[in-house]
Amino acid sequence: MKSTLEVKLREWRTGAGFTQAELAEMTGVSRKTINTVENGVFVPSTVLALELANTLGCQVEDLFVLSRPQLQSRPDHGDVRIPTNKIRLA
């Protein structure tokens, strides 16, 4: 069963009053990198995730949340549980 990654970088960045270009400069990456991370196209390295969190004054877990599909019990199958969504992390 695959997990999904919820990215909250945009919310934290705009809440801090930074543009993508400003955050990129402060973390040593391109504006395009910030954009692709915010849009879920690119998953950052551990080092970049730590840099982003440090720059924004938060924890990595505030920026990136790993969600697992919720399971639902099926009474007709005893203890067998089935996933209720099929979103996968690429």
| CATH number, domain with residue 53 | 1.10.260.40
**pLDDT beneath 70, residues of the chain:** 1, 71-90
Q: Which residues contact 39 (CB under 8 A, 6 or more apart)?
A: 7
Determine, yes or no, domain membership for 72.
no
Determine, yes or no, domain membership for 78.
no
Determine, yes or no, domain membership for 56.
yes
Determine, yes or no, domain membership for 70.
no
Q: Which residues contact 70 (CB under 8 A, 6 or more apart)?
A: 83, 84, 85
Determine, yes or no, domain membership for 14.
yes
Q: Whole-model pTM?
A: 0.73
Whole-angstrom distance, CA of residue 61 vs CA of residue 66: 8
Total domains in the chain come to 1
- The range of the structural domain enclosing residue 32 comes to 7-63
Whole-angstrom distance, CA of residue 7 vs CA of residue 10: 8
pLDDT at 67: 87
